[in-house]
Amino acid sequence: MKYGYARVSTEGQDLSLQIERLEAVGCGRIFHEKRSGKDTRRPQLQRMLETLRPGDTVLAVNADRIARDPFDMLTILRTVKDAGAGVTLLDEPFIDTTSEMSDLVMFVIGWAAKWHRRRILENTAHGRARARANGVKFGRKPKLTAQQKQDALARLAAGEPRWQVARAFSVSDRTIERLR
């Protein structure tokens, strides 16, 4: 049996290209999920690994769809091999899990995936820092404007109960409490 595995990191990303490619090579069943590759407890990955029988093949588009860490990659590869199955990567056809060199190759590819993920995180952090320096505000918009905050604090200082101030501004009691 050929099993496909497709993964993207976030809900906003699209799995369809991976799924189409796996269908095109004859996967009888495709496990897919939208979870980070650094999460080794991905439910669909675990289900697929538990399903494997001798002679089965796991197909994925490339190594970083399976794991982002070389040690995770080796653990997954060992689980596949222990089940008597193999792994084929569509974009990395030089990987042959039936050879003794496969552990080394998979480790190197897993290391490269981890390195690539680190670069992504660094680039994202630099982009965020640059945006902050240019005045971009992150997070939710405040529920109260600066003027509303001043007005609410003035009403509290005048002795008005917090719950009443919260109701006047249509916010929670906790929002008013945090102003102090």
Answer whether 87's CB lies under 8 Å from 80's CB: yes
Coarse DSSP helix, strand, coil percentages of the chain, rounded to the nearest 5 percent: 50, 10, 40
The residue among 37, 21, 17, 42 whose CA lies nearest residue 88 is 21
Residue with tokens 């899990």: 97
The Cα 23–Cα 152 span in angstroms is 60
Is there a catalytic annotation at residue 9? yes
The residue among 153, 151, 174, 179 whose CA lies nearest residue 163 is 174
Answer whether 128's CB lies under 8 Å from 138's CB: yes
Tell me the chain's radius of gyration from C-alpha atoms: 25
Residue with tokens 């439910």: 43
Q: Which is catalytic among the residues 9, 36, 99, 170? A: 9
Structure tokens at 55: 């002679």
Which positions are catalytic? 9
